[in-house]
Amino acid sequence: MSTLKKNFSYKSFTIFNKLNNKVLLKVDNQFPQHFYPNSIVDYANIIKEIVSGKTKNYPIVSLTVKDYPFCDFRCQDCLVKESREWAKKNINNLVLDIDKYKKILKDISTYSKENGVENVRIEFCGEGNPDLYVYRKEIIKYASQKCNMKIIYVSTGSGLTDDDLTELVLNASFIRISFPGIDHITYNLFSNQKHVKYTYEDSLNTLRKIVSLRKQYNRECDLLIGVRACIREEFSELYEDFIYELDKIGIDCVQLAKVFKYNDNSPTKISTKLKSILKKIADSKYKHLKQVQVPTRYNSSSDDRKLRNNSFNICFSALFNPVLYGDHLIVCTQTDKIIDKQFHYGKLNGKVNEVSQLYNNEVSNEIRKQLPLCCNDCCAVYDNVLLNKIYDILYENKENIDNIKFMMEE
C-alpha cells in the first residue's frame, strides 16, 4: 500500500503482547498528517529501542527549521511575531550561509542514523516566509538527496517560482500551503500585505500547479498536499465553499485551526453555529480530500493544552523534535521556550560530531530535567501524553519487550 493511502486509511494504533494477544493500548489514529510521512509506530519503535537499551542516545526524529524570519505578509494574527522580533535581537546567525547549513544538516542526519533513525523528518516552516530564502531549492535538494531527510514544507507559497515548485514536488513528502483568509476579501484583509501582490486566486493556482506537477512526476502515492487556515467566527458562512474549492483542486487534507496567541488568556469563543458547520465539514465525504481536521473539542474556546489537565512525565518533543532557529538548537516551538535562552541546547557551527556532543551533554540533560515541570501549556501536549503512555507500557514490560508489538488497523 502507498505511504499516503496507508497513513490515511489506518483508523487506530494498538500495542499488544504477542504471547497472549493481550491489547495493552488502543487509540485513534486521529491526525495522520501530523506525523506524515512517519506514523506513531515509528515513534513507538524508537522508544522501544531506547527502553530495551539497544539505542543509548535519543535521536532527532523530526527537526523544525526556522531559517528565514522575514515575511512579505503582515498577517493580523501572526503567531510568531513575538519570537521573530526576539530572535532578530538575540540570535546572530538567523539566516545561515549555505555551506554551514548543509554541514549542520549532514551532522544531524549522521547523528540520528547512528541512533536508529535513517530518515529525519525536517519541517521547513516560517517565522517568516521560507519561500524567500535565496538557497531554498539547494537546501531542499541537499536535505532530501544527501541527508535522506523527509521534507515537510510549510508556507503561503507566495514566493515560490515554477522552478521552486518542481524541486519541491520532486523532493518533498508533504507540502502544506497556509491561507491567511478563505476567500478573496478575507485573504487580502488578513494577509495585510502592503501592496497586495499575492491573492486568494494566486494561492489556489499554486495548489493547482502542485497537484498537476505531482501527477506529472508520478508522486501521487507519496507526496501529501495540504492546506491550513484559521477558524474565524465572523466568517462562518465561508468555510463550506472554501473546502469545496480545495476538494475540486484535488489536494489531500485541510487543517482548520484555532488562533493560539502567546500569552492570550481569553481566546475567542466558537459559537454553536460555527461548531455545527465545522462538524459537518469534518464528517463529510469528499472526492479528493482524505481528511479535514478541525479542533477536537467543540465545547471549549480553545483546545486544552494546559498541563494541569494533561499530565505527563517526559517531554518527548524536547528529546525527539527540537527546533533549529538560525544556528540555535531549541527544545520546542513554544514561544516562551524560543525567547528564553535557558531552553536553547546551544549553537551549531557545522562541525563534525557536534550534534552528538551538544545533544548529550550535561547542559542538555539539565534542561530536560526541568521539562515539563516548568511548562504551563504545551504546544505538543497530545503527542507527549501518547508517547508517555507508550513509554510506560514498554517500561512495565521491559523484561518481555521483544514480545511487545505495534499495529495500525484500518
Q: Which residues bind ligand SF4 (CB under 6 A)?
A: 71, 73-75, 78, 80, 126, 128-129, 156, 180, 315, 317-318, 331-332, 334, 337, 371-372, 375, 378-380, 384
Closest among 116, 123, 110, 120 to 356, alpha carbons compared? 110
Beta bridge partners, 224, equal 174
CB nearer to ligand SF4: give 130 or 250: 130
Name the minimum Å distance from CB 51 to ligand SF4.
20
Beta bridge partners, 62, equal 121
Name the minimum Å distance from CB 94 to ligand SF4.
14
> Under a CB-based contact definition with an 8 Å cutoff, are residues 243 and 254 in contact?
yes
Question: For 377, which DSSP code?
Answer: B
3-class DSSP assignment, residue 228: strand
Angle between helices 272-283 and 239-249 (to 10 degrees): 20
* Residue 101 grid cell: 547549513
CB nearer to ligand SF4: give 254 or 380: 380
Name the minimum Å distance from CB 91 to ligand SF4.
16
Question: For 341, which DSSP code?
Answer: G
Closest among 52, 143, 137, 131 to 106, alpha carbons compared? 143
Name the minimum Å distance from CB 78 to ligand SF4.
3
Name the minimum Å distance from CB 307 to ligand SF4.
7
CB nearer to ligand SF4: give 134 or 221: 134
Name the minimum Å distance from CB 79 to ligand SF4.
6
CB nearer to ligand SF4: give 69 or 250: 69
CB nearer to ligand SF4: give 144 or 384: 384
- Sheet arrangement for strand 62-66: 291-293, 253-257, 224-230, 172-179, 150-155, 121-124, 62-66, 323-325, 328-330, 344-347
CB nearer to ligand SF4: give 204 or 375: 375
Name the minimum Å distance from CB 57 to ligand SF4.
18
CB nearer to ligand SF4: give 13 or 312: 312
Kindly list the distances between the CA atom of residue 156 and the CA atoms of 73, 244, 261, 270, in Å, as whole numbers in the listed order. 9, 19, 19, 25
CB nearer to ligand SF4: give 329 or 380: 380
| Distance between CA atoms of residues 3 and 214, nearest Å | 15
Name the minimum Å distance from CB 35 to ligand SF4.
15
* Residue 223 grid cell: 507526496
CB nearer to ligand SF4: give 22 or 369: 369
| Distance between CA atoms of residues 81 and 330, nearest Å | 17
* Amino acid letter for position 17: N
Name the minimum Å distance from CB 259 to ligand SF4.
10
Return the HEC string of 57-126.
CCCCCEEEEECCCCCCCCCCCCCCHHHHHHHHHHCCCCCCCHHHHHHHHHHHHHHHHHCCCCCCEEEECC
